[in-house]
Amino acid sequence: MNYEHHIFISYARGSVWTHWVRDIFVLKLQSYLELEIGHVEVFVDDQIQTGARWEQVLKRKIACSKLMLPLMSANYFQREWCRREMALMLEREQNLGLIGNDDNYGLLIPVRLGDGQSFPTIVGRVQYQDFEKYADPDLPAGSLRATEFNDLLRQLAKTIARTLPRVPLDCCDSWLELTGDPFLRQLEAKPLPAHAPPRLIV
């Protein structure tokens, strides 16, 4: 089995966010990556053909990808298949002894889109790339925020370029047999903190 993709984008699909991920985030990131490493293959799950057995297809696409970028939001950790995607890559990291910490990434480079209050503890072991301020489908072109967004994408591309050489050269058939089960429970969203009711002053 051979690698098919440099990067697998794992995200919670939605009518607005699928467009932002595919046509804004990935399109720009891919352009910056090409400046760093040349041609790059990025997989987004809207590429799966209608009628395909999508669970099996996604599992193979993950196994055949060198790195995963999970785009983390509260919605992401509330969806079982999103958690499963991340769990599959975490299990591969563990099997290969490549579990990352701080800014030394393994096979996962997490990107934060939400405020993170419900994010599971396990995702905090590495520094995430913080894009919350720029997760905006109506981000005005030419604005200061758009410029900052582009600068952050350029930094992310450099991080990916530094991380890719650490990935094993060979894609292993046994990765298709991984289930992600050892990590699935650890990726469940944390309950949001309860807010105390306002005190009534009389």
**Per residue in 113-132, pLDDT tens?**
987 888 998 888 888 899 99
Using the predicted structure, report yes or no on whether residue 50 has a pLDDT greater than 50.
no
SS3 content of the chain, % helix, strand, coil (to 5): 50, 15, 40
195 occurs within a structural domain: no
Q: Are 183 and 91 in contact (CB under 8 A)?
A: yes
Span 157-177, mean pLDDT? 94
- The model's confidence at residue 167, banded by pLDDT at 50, 70 and 90, is very high
Task: In whole angstroms, give the CA distance from residue 181 to residue 87.
Answer: 7
Span 47-53, mean pLDDT? 53
Dmax (CA) for the chain in angstroms is: 72
Tokens (6 digits) for 155: 């930094």
Span 36-50, mean pLDDT? 80
Local structure of 180: helix, strand or coil: coil
Task: In whole angstroms, give the CA distance from residue 152 to residue 134.
Answer: 10
Strand pairing partners for 101?
A: 104
198 occurs within a structural domain: no
- Tell me how many domains the chain contains: 1
41 occurs within a structural domain: yes
192 occurs within a structural domain: no
Local structure of 102: helix, strand or coil: strand
DSSP category for residue 167: S
- Structural domain boundaries enclosing 150: 5-187
199 occurs within a structural domain: no
Using the predicted structure, report yes or no on whether residue 14 has a pLDDT greater than 90.
no
**pLDDT number for residue 162:** 94
The CATH number of the domain holding residue 123 is: 3.40.50.10140
Using the predicted structure, report yes or no on whether residue 20 has a pLDDT greater than 80.
yes
- The whole model's pTM is what? 0.89
> Within a 13 Å sphere around the CA of 77, how many CA atoms are in the beta-carbon half?
25
Using the predicted structure, report yes or no on whether residue 147 has a pLDDT greater than 90.
yes
Provide the 10 A C-beta neighbour count for residue 65.
26
Tokens (6 digits) for 126: 């590495």
Span 25-41, mean pLDDT? 96
Using the predicted structure, report yes or no on whether residue 196 has a pLDDT greater than 70.
no
Q: Given the structure tokens 């429970």, which residue do they identify?
A: 185
Tokens (6 digits) for 46: 């809207």
Span 88-92, mean pLDDT? 95
